[in-house]
């Protein structure tokens, strides 16, 4: 950076002295037609306080720069990172830039964001740029699926997207249709789908990394894929329905994650399972008071048809449990209650195994994605007990709703180490941020990939 400042005749130093450049995280200060360098424009991006610099700050700062520049068509854009950065830091910067230049305006004739013709990373190892590009691709895949209109993104459409990803990356894939789901006794998932004219699907993807042989997967990723949630007969208000195309963000997250793991050729055996339904109000819609039988044999009394995601996940969790994975992680836009507790930017974690949860917390901290573990005390268990069935699909009243939803899911994982991620808040942004347009965020893809990769090298 000192060399650039010198080439510019010290203009950057003067701007900093005058307070025009503050270094605040994600601050973007343009210098137009700078004399002394070949670039037509120079954009200086702030990283905040050095002691607070982590992969999340780097990712967001690079995304903020790309978002700013992508407001116009650019033939080529070159990025220059701090020379002291580690390769892992460079990877997340590359991913951030790839994400920042892509908006949510899929259907607009005049795009607000235009990806650069060529992105150049100066003085960066080619392998780090390649890995960061794969990471950005996985996040953008997740974002695009969430941002698609519900008439374009329905269960079969999602399965088709997953099949295309699997074919491109050499991932094994199996898609269960409604006949197979019935044969497999997935009564809870099938009940949710009954009100829609579009049939449900269950997508199961299996990636075996280099050196991995036949056997149980080390990790199972499970995603809630309610491609549109009207609330069913417990109908949502119109305003609450507006963002419900994002109710498949958990499934999109897991597809983006396994795609990234495969693209990076990580040495791990992973299965990803995504339960896909629409929750609608057709003549066959399931009803309040119905008693469903889940795949594991538990009977479930329905008290609210808008508590449908846990019913979908119940059967999918039982399917992957049968594969005997080393651990299960599910992601779901499950409860508004989690947003009440933690706001829009923090994901809630719920687990039956502290060691497994701690590893995910550490990975999220490394990635710079905020998460918070919530309690799973036994005294919540009676709240989901039913008088007429084994359990019911909501707790007693509104209090602790995110926890009682997790306690419901816990009934379907047995003794397998399991962590549930409630991404209802951070999965979808109603408003733009400096580093991203509104819409799907791709949250937790970076954290889950970091979990699989293990501890990064020491950063400086």
Helix, coil or strand: residue 189: helix
Q: Which residue has the tokens 């973007």?
A: 28
Per-residue CA distances from 221 to 273, 330, 369 (Å):
6, 6, 18
Q: What's the distance, CA 371 to chain centroid?
A: 13
Phi, psi (rounded to 5 degrees) for 283: -60, -20
CA distance 206 to 331: 17
CB 146 within 8 A of CB 252: yes
The DSSP element (H or E) to which 45 belongs, if any, is: strand 41-45
Strand partners, 172: 206
Phi/psi at 427 (5° precision): -70, -25
Note whether 429 and 239 are within 8 A (CB): no
- Tell me the torsion sign for CA atoms 390, 394, 398, 404: positive
DSSP state of 206: E
Catalytic residue, candidates 236, 287, 365, 433: 236
Residue the block writes with tokens 């929750």? 279
Q: Name the active-site residue from 60, 245, 310, 407.
A: 310
**Contact between 205 and 172 (Cβ < 8 Å):** yes
Of the candidates 45, 41, 11, 430, which has an alpha carbon nearest to the alpha carbon of residue 244?
430
Collapsed DSSP state (helix, strand, coil) of residue 363:
helix
CA 316/CA 333 separation, integer angstroms: 15
Report the alpha-carbon distance of residue 22 to residue 144 in Å, rounded: 34
Q: Is 310 a catalytic residue?
A: yes
Between CA 146 and CA 137 the distance in angstroms is 14
Q: How many CB atoms lie within 10 A of CB 6?
A: 12
Closest to 159 measured CA to CA, from 64, 66, 223, 104: 223
Contact status, residue 432 vs residue 438, Cβ threshold 8 Å:
yes
Known catalytic residue at 72:
no
| Residues designated catalytic | 236, 310
């Amino acid at each position: 950076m000192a060399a650039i400042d010198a080439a510019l005749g010290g203009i950057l130093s003067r701007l900093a002295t005058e307070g025009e450049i503050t270094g605040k995280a994600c601050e973007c200060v343009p210098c137009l037609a700078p004399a002394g360098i070949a670039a037509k424009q120079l954009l200086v991006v702030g990283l905040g306080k050095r002691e607070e610099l982590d992969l999340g700050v780097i990712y967001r700062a690079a995304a903020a720069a790309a978002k700013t520049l992508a407001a116009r068509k650019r033939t080529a854009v070159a990025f220059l990172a701090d020379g002291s950065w580690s390769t892992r830091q460079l990877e997340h910067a590359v991913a951030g830039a790839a994400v920042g230049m892509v908006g949510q305006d899929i259907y607009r004739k005049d795009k607000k964001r235009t990806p650069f013709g060529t992105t150049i990373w100066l003085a960066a190892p080619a392998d780090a740029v390649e890995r960061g590009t794969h990471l950005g691709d996985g996040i953008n895949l997740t974002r695009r699926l969430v941002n698609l209109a519900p008439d374009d993104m329905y269960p079969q459409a999602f399965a088709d997207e997953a099949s295309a990803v699997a074919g491109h990356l050499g991932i094994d894939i199996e898609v269960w249709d409604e006949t197979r789901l019935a044969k497999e006794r997935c009564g809870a998932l099938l009940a949710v789908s009954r009100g829609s004219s579009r049939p449900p699907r269950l997508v199961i993807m299996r990636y075996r990394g280099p050196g991995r042989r036949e056997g149980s997967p080390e990790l199972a990723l499970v995603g809630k894929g309610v491609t549109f949630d009207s609330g069913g007969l417990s109908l949502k208000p119109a305003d609450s329905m507006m963002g419900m195309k994002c109710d498949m963000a958990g499934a999109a997250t897991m597809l983006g994650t396994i795609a990234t793991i495969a693209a990076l050729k990580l040495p791990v055996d992973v299965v990803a399972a995504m339960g896909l339904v629409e929750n609608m109000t057709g003549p066959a819609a399931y009803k309040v008071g119905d008693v469903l039988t889940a795949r594991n044999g538990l009977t479930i009394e329905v008290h609210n048809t808008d508590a449908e995601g846990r019913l979908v996940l119940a059967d999918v969790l039982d399917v992957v449990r049968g594969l005997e994975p080393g651990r299960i992680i599910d992601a779901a836009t499950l409860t508004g209650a989690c947003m009440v507790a933690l706001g829009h930017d923090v994901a809630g974690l719920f687990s039956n195994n502290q060691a497994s949860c701690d590893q995910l917390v550490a990975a999220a901290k490394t990635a710079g994605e905020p998460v918070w573990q919530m309690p799973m005390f036994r005294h919540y268990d009676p709240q989901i007990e039913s008088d007429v069935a084994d359990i019911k699909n909501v707790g007693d009243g509104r209090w602790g709703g995110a926890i009682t939803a997790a306690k419901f899911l816990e009934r379907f994982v047995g003794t397998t180490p399991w962590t549930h991620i409630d991404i209802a808040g951070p999965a979808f942004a109603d408003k733009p941020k400096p580093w991203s347009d509104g819409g799907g965020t791709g949250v937790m893809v970076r954290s889950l990939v970091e979990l699989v990769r293990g501890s990064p090298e020491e950063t400086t």
